[in-house]
Each structure stands twice: as structure tokens, then as C-alpha cells.
């Protein structure tokens, strides 16, 4: 049976050892194929989560209104943003040294927020690494207005902007951050390498 024309569309895509659960909200413009999005996320997981035998990642493609709600609810910030990541594991579960995998994975709830450890996030034998929400509306606007890219001053295609946001969000799920200058330089360099490979 075909989905109703006004229903969200969800797909489960497998790329190598990763399962990407992709949801497109109704009315969301399609600037990249589902397969291209899954391949982009999987490439970032290959680089940042090498120590995991397998895993799943959920990506929701939506609009500014939903990102504004999530931004207010989870970060206490007003207005929409382009991408939000919701990691299920602590950053320490991922080894940063060359993206070589897990140094240690928590076995019990950790942190003040009581986020469960690895064992609590098994889905059908796969560890669920986290969720990402992306505003396609914002990606298109940023790309076309010349406010895209890592430096927010790049004019390129909405597809290129979406690839960057998927990569960026996936790296956040895997414990990468850009709060400090050195962290930002390392994260941006990895993003550039991954985006170059995606364009070849």
C-alpha cells in the first residue's frame, strides 16, 4: 500500500555496517537522494566510529519550525538552526586518535543527565549512536544566499550544504565538537576530507 500523499516518509537504508533510519517530513524538498544522504552519513561514521562493529543513526529532514522547537526545548535558544545532533553515547565511547574506534564504552548510566551506556542502546544487535535533525529549508536558504559551508560565506548548491550538515551532525553524534580552537580545526579538516571524497 502506498503512503498517504501528506505522510512523512521513512526508510531504513544499509550502507556497509551502518543502518541509517531516514525520515523526510511531508513537504520537505528533496535536494539529495535518500541513498546519497545515507552514504554521506556512513562515510562520517566510517571515519569517526571505526571501533563499532555496526550501528544505527536516525536522520530527520524537516523545516525551520521543527528545528526552532527542538532548539528551544533542548538548548534553550530562540529560533531555528540548520542541524541538531542528539548523541546517545558519551564522547568517551569514541576514540578520537585517528578515528580509530572505541577506547572505552560505558556499561552503566553515566553523566548528570543519566544517559544510558552502550548496552541500553542496542537495536536489533546494532548500537544506536544517535539522532540528527536537519532543516532542509535552512540548508537551501543558506546555500542560495551565500551563507553556507563551514565558514558561513559559501554560495554552493543546496545538495552540497546538505552533505555538509549530514557530515557535521554525524560527527557530533560521534563525540566530535568545535568548542575549542583545536577541536574545531580537527573537526573542520575531517569534514573537508569527507566532502572531497563525496564529490569524487
For helices 158-173 and 136-145, give the axis angle rounded to 10 degrees.
130
Judged against a pLDDT cut of 50, whether residue 115 lies above it is answered with: no
Handedness of CA 200, 14, 29, 190 (dihedral sign): negative
Confidence of residue 200 (pLDDT cuts 50, 70, 90): low
Question: E strands along the chain, which residues?
Answer: 9-15, 18-24, 55-62, 83-87, 122-123, 126-135
pLDDT of residue 148: 78
**pLDDT band at residue 181 using 50, 70 and 90 as cut-offs:** confident
In the chain the domains, ranked by start, together with CATH numbers, are 9-199 (3.40.390.30)
Q: What is the pTM of this model?
A: 0.81
Contact 34, 189 (CB under 8 A): no
What's the confidence (pLDDT) of residue 95? Answer: 60
**pLDDT band for position 91 (50/70/90)?**
confident
- Residues 121-169: pLDDT tens digits? 554 578 899 999 999 999 999 998 888 787 788 788 999 999 999 999 9
Amino acid at each position: 500500500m502506498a503512503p498517504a500523499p501528506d505522510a512523512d516518509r521513512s526508510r531504513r537504508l544499509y550502507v556497509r555496517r551502518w543502518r541509517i533510519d531516514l525520515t523526510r517530513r511531508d513537504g520537505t524538498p528533496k535536494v539529495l537522494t535518500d541513498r546519497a544522504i545515507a552514504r554521506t552519513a556512513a562515510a562520517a561514521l566510517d571515519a569517526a566510529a571505526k571501533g563499532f562493529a555496526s550501528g544505527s543513526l536516525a536522520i530527520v529532514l524537516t523545516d525551520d519550525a521543527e528545528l526552532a522547537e527542538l532548539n528551544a526545548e533542548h538548548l534553550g535558544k530562540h529560533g531555528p538552526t540548520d542541524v541538531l545532533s542528539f548523541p546517545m553515547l558519551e564522547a568517551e565511547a569514541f576514540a578520537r586518535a585517528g578515528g580509530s574506534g572505541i577506547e572505552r564504552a560505558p556499561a552503566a548510566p553515566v553523566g548528570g543527565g543519566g544517559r544510558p551506556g552502550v548496552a541500553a542502546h542496542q537495536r536489533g544487535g546494532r548500537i544506536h549512536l544517535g539522532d540528527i535533525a536537519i532543516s532542509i529549508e535552512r540548508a537551501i536558504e543558506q546555500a542560495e544566499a551565500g551563507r553556507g559551508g563551514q565558514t558561513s560565506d559559501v554560495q554552493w548548491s543546496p545538495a552540497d550544504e546538505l552533505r555538509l550538515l549530514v557530515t557535521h551532525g554525524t560527527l557530533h553524534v560521534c563525540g566530535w565538537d568545535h568548542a575549542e580552537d583545536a577541536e574545531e580545526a580537527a573537526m573542520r579538516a575531517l569534514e573537508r576530507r569527507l566532502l572531497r571524497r563525496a564529490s569524487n
